[in-house]
Structure 1
Amino acid sequence: MNATYIALIVPARLGEPLRTVPVEGADGLKDLLGGDLESVARGDWHLYLNAEGTSGNLPPNLRAAQLMHDCGLDLAGAARGPAVILGRDAQGKDTSIPERLLRLAAELFGAPQAA
């Protein structure tokens, strides 16, 4: 059985608000991203993007790129389409998004809406 965690969804479209949603396993992530996953993990977070973001000509995700830049990762235009951010434990497994990232997202873009 997969555990359910709270994820931050960062839509690529600037008019769509950030939101927090429960997500369960890889299938839940694929549904949110609309395709296969690619991911980057650092410290206490895990960023998921659609693996076909560039080849599928998905729109750039400027907010996800900015948020990750503020966390020490330069995506340099690689963030395309929606982004899903989860937490990561010491063993590298997904957890709910860290509160500090929710606070940073709120500071940058306004408070995320709950699902």
Structure 2
Amino acid sequence: MHTPCNALVVPARLAHPVHIKAVELDTTTLQRVANGEVGVIAGRAWHVYLDSEANRMAAQNLRAEVLIRETGINVEETLHGTALFLGHGCSGEEADVPRHLIRLAEQLFDMPLAA
């Protein structure tokens, strides 16, 4: 059984809000988020799961691109579909999304995400 983690969910469609969601991660869950093969982009204290196939049928995820770039990571490819941000835990385990990433998303997208 996997322990749920609080993830920052950044949907591709602008009509869907960026939000925090408790998720139990396993391969099936990640493939559902990515709509196929799962890719990872890693930062210092976080990583994001997304569609590695850059499925052109999925909407471009401009908000995820902006958030990743604002952390100092250069994204060379266009991102598509939902992005799921998490933190790095001990021994390579998943952890809650770091608070500083939540604050950055709140500032960038002008929306409160956490209580």
Same fold (TM over 0.5): yes
Q: Any stretches of 5+ residues in structure 1 without a counterpart?
A: none
Q: Are positions 1:6 and 2:6 aligned together? A: yes
Q: Any stretches of 5+ residues in structure 2 without a counterpart?
A: none
**Which residue in 2 is equivalent to 1:51?**
52
Bigger strand share:
1
**Which residue in 2 is equivalent to 1:68?**
68
Q: CA deviation at 1:25?
A: 1.8
| C-alpha distance in structure 2 between counterparts of 1:77 and 1:51, whole Å | 10
User: Aligned-residue CA RMSD in angstroms?
Assistant: 2.0
**Which residue in 1 is equivalent to 2:38?**
37
| C-alpha distance in structure 2 between counterparts of 1:94 and 1:21, whole Å | 14
Q: CA deviation at 1:87?
A: 0.6
90-99 vs 16-25, which moves further:
90-99
TM-score of the superposition, structure 2-length normalised?
0.85
Q: Secondary structure at the match of 2:59?
A: coil
